[in-house]
Structure 1
């Protein structure tokens, strides 16, 4: 994440806010290794140029910058041939004249008239503390903060905690998520649309399967039963509605519909063959009870290791495993009773029409 200074309070205020945020994060047991991803402020030599004196002496600012760069760093001049090899020529001040800060007073810069003007005539130097690298993000001064969620804590929970900690900082500071955290937040914002699309696709597939617009409703009505179980299990374990839980919720939607299809498919076929609606539904429940229990229990025990996992990455596994387990348990138990009810109600409301010969 990037901690931003929106009010333009300056570098010192941003560093104070950064230190306060890191201190708050260190006190929270659900966060670990929260730190500044960069270098701390270090001593820097600040050179102040008196532009009025430089202008009076006929010295251009560009020439001053070029001289500083050449003397302390180096400047590429040209190439030359040496025994058949091309070598580069760099110009730099001799070592004895660039080792100390006061050596700047020994340098000269050429003015517009061709004369040599000493730096001491228009420049002074002083020590100050500053950042080795000034960062900006989206136009604001910023510092990068990195960290991890504690074992057993999901990344969504950790991100929510960091947002709450930033709100405790003085006014004028905010955060922006980057990299994988930004993608996670972006995915979370798209969850309602994804749920709606997934339900629509399931409904359309069922409508094509049964060649009816009414029968799929008896299947779709069981989906909230699985969602209730997933939300209840997640709430009981104190987990958050993060992207991992949302992935598990999509799985619960499909599996809940699958259990309902096992009953509705069999009952619909018997009803189309002329059997009484109520008898066909009861017979379908008896015949499909064992397959529903076998497939549901197999999946529940399959995700049990995820719900009870430990170590690195366990937070995401807990969110997926707990949501799927809770959703499957509620969908399996309640579907046995409610799917036949929904099917009978929908079929009575929309009776089966005879197909034209």
Structure 2
């Protein structure tokens, strides 16, 4: 799942514990806490990890501290630099219980009493299960490639797509259940923004109403505003660039057709590796009201045209040879390639970043 935005939870810290019996009570036990060890609570602030408070751990490993939390934030508890436990606290919790092994980065830990943290942990567990499944299917693809078994390779590809779709659906349901909260914000970092803009926009709206001044939410809203012009269902920005013969080709001139806008370059290895797949689907659907507009981010005409000839790319090609400063790349907010946008006959964006099996599946859905 790419360009997708994943938040690195952090936060543990230094600082002086408030002796007043106010705030969120954080209690628990550390099984393996060395004599002279330290335990800090940290918070994720706008400038990174900030010291927040200390935990006094007694010889038996027990601790109890009241944390003065004024607004929802991401935290972490750092046990002796060995094990770090991530939390989301709002300040409304009565008592949060944290038990941990304490001396191993992968050691046992459990948290109760924090609504947001429990949702975060469910999200983490779901994504870990997904990663394990994907690793298995990637291994199957490698084995199929080694055996030159195209059918097995394709089967593994489609299985991976099915697992990704199912996981995304379950994750969205969990995010919706957790919203509005920082747990929902955390879950959004796992969602493919290009394919789920409306969902992300709806959650962002709920978060804005709940915590408008939270800097995480402000950052999310800024990203949503930037992406809104290129959301699924929006009209695709015009492209008007020269083809290899020096003629101006406009995207709008292709109205009435399904158009795959393919941002690529001769120097882009993943693009070149993907080209045989694109050639195959183009040959299959070029008679079905389907066209491709290749937008090159090359810097020299020679390399651009050389790659078109070498890879045998029979579709329309345009470029202003301005690399990442290409006007089309700027208008489409392209900062990595290959990048694709599928446009319907009315000129509206209906899919993004399709390639390989996902491109084939989408075109089969459209043309049967």
TM-score by length of 1: 0.22
Indicate the structure (1 or 2) with the bigger Cα radius of gyration.
1
Which has a greater percent of helix?
Answer: 1
